[in-house]
Structure 1
Amino acid sequence: MHQEKRLPRNGKEGFLYGTIISTLTVLFMTTYSIIYFTGEFNGDIAITILKTLPIIWIIVMLIEPTIFGRIAEALTAKFTQPTDSFNSKILFRILFTVLGMSAAMTLIADVVINGLHSELFSNWLLNWPRNFIIVLFAEVLVIQPIARFFMVKMHEAQDKKDTANAKVQS
């Protein structure tokens, strides 16, 4: 039976796959956002990024699978057919996930970095469309392909090991 090698096959692999995607996205967007707003990169900015990264990453790892991942899965099922290609399904999944996560994380990241302030919602209205487009392209062109490549290599190694074990047993 043919199993999809580009996606996780169980919960442990799903966690690893999500960790890769979340880590790359958080690293990219945190760095981009802080540099965008400060206009420079120096030691203080690097420290801010390092302090902010774990907090943002934990938030992402909590809300993506529990909220936005489930919503994206449901919407993908509504907009695709079982016979649709892998690429069409994954693009819908990415679109819906990025739509929700970018909206939430634009707001949350502003609170984490700058605290609660009076311009929170006006900042969100200005920043979210830019963040959505940037993350959408980053996910489609770089981040998701890296995660799927990692899954393929991991599954190929597992399949090779399983084949070797089967030969030893027979």
Structure 2
Amino acid sequence: MHGETRLPRNTKEGLLFLLIVSIISVNTIAPLIVGLELGFSKEIYLDTLKILPFMWVIVVLLVRLVAGPIVRKVLPKFTGQTDGFNARVLLNIILNVTVLSISMSVIGTWVGTGHVSLEPVRNFLHIWPRNFGIAFWIELLVAQPIARLAMKSLHARQDRKAQSVNA
């Protein structure tokens, strides 16, 4: 997928891609999950907004230090030379969302409640499938497409600029 305009081409672009995906994800997934747990109200939403910066830092660290390395190691075992862009992206999303939703089903509960307990571990089989489903569909239909569109636009702008310099 070298040269793919919808993906980051360097570290700086990778950070921008991560920023876009993580900001969209944290600002949609966390409020949805909290709303399903506690009910949807203005007060609950405003309380959720207070923890979002902490959740965002945790998600970015988990992506960079846990999910990213795991997915980079596992993805080649399931993809072949003839697999297309969409197949690779879908598998990448599934693997990332799996690792992050497992982690955040526990850590997110701790951050949201303000204390560490065994409750999210005991309720894991109840909360994880729902959290995975929410995160998967938001990543697949909202966060990733917006980030890929941003990369495509950035690369088109870079190509136009390079062409005008060379002309």
Q: TM-score, normalised by structure 1?
A: 0.91
Give ranges in structure 1 of 5+ residues lacking alignment. Answer: none
Structure 2 partner of 1:47: 46
Alignment map for 1:31-42 (pairs within 5 Å) = 31-42=31-42
Structure 2 partner of 1:108: 107
Superimposed CA distance per residue, residues 56-113 of structure 1 (whole angstroms, 9 cap, x where no aligned partner): 0001111112211121122111001123111111111111111000000111110001
- Which letter does structure 2 place at the counterpart of 1:163? Q
Single out whichever of 117-126 and 101-110 deviates more from structure 2.
117-126
Structure 2 partner of 1:88: 87
Single out whichever of 89-98 and 113-122 deviates more from structure 2.
113-122
Task: Provide the secondary structure at the position in 2 that maps to 1:116.
Answer: coil
- Which letter does structure 2 place at the counterpart of 1:100? V
Structure 1 partner of 2:67: 68
Cα distance in 2 for residues equivalent to 1:63 and 1:69: 8
Cα distance in 1 for residues equivalent to 2:100 and 2:60: 11
- Which letter does structure 2 place at the counterpart of 1:62? L
The number of residues matched between the two structures is 165
**Deviation >4 Å, runs of 4+:** none
Alignment map for 1:1-170 (pairs within 5 Å) = 3-42=3-42, 44-114=43-113, 115-167=115-167
Tell me which of the two structures has the higher relative contact order, counting C-alpha pairs closer than 8 angstroms and 6 or more residues apart. 2
Offset of residue 139 of structure 1: 1.3
Cα distance in 2 for residues equivalent to 1:111 and 1:156: 42
Cα distance in 1 for residues equivalent to 2:31 and 2:8: 28
CA contact (8 A) 2:79 2:88 kept: yes
- Which letter does structure 2 place at the counterpart of 1:164? S
Cα distance in 2 for residues equivalent to 1:26 and 1:101: 12
Superimposed CA distance per residue, residues 94-137 of structure 1 (whole angstroms, 9 cap, x where no aligned partner): 11111000000111110001122342312322110111112112
Change (3 A) 1:82 1:39: same
Cα distance in 2 for residues equivalent to 1:136 and 1:120: 20
- Which letter does structure 1 place at the counterpart of 2:51? T
CA contact (8 A) 2:25 2:143 kept: yes
Task: Provide the secondary structure at the position in 1 that maps to 2:40.
Answer: coil
Superimposed CA distance per residue, residues 123-165 of structure 1 (whole angstroms, 9 cap, x where no aligned partner): 3221101111121122112221111011101111111111111
Percent identical pairs in the alignment equals 38
Whichever of the two has the greater Rg, that structure is 1
Give ranges in structure 2 of 5+ residues lacking alignment. Answer: none
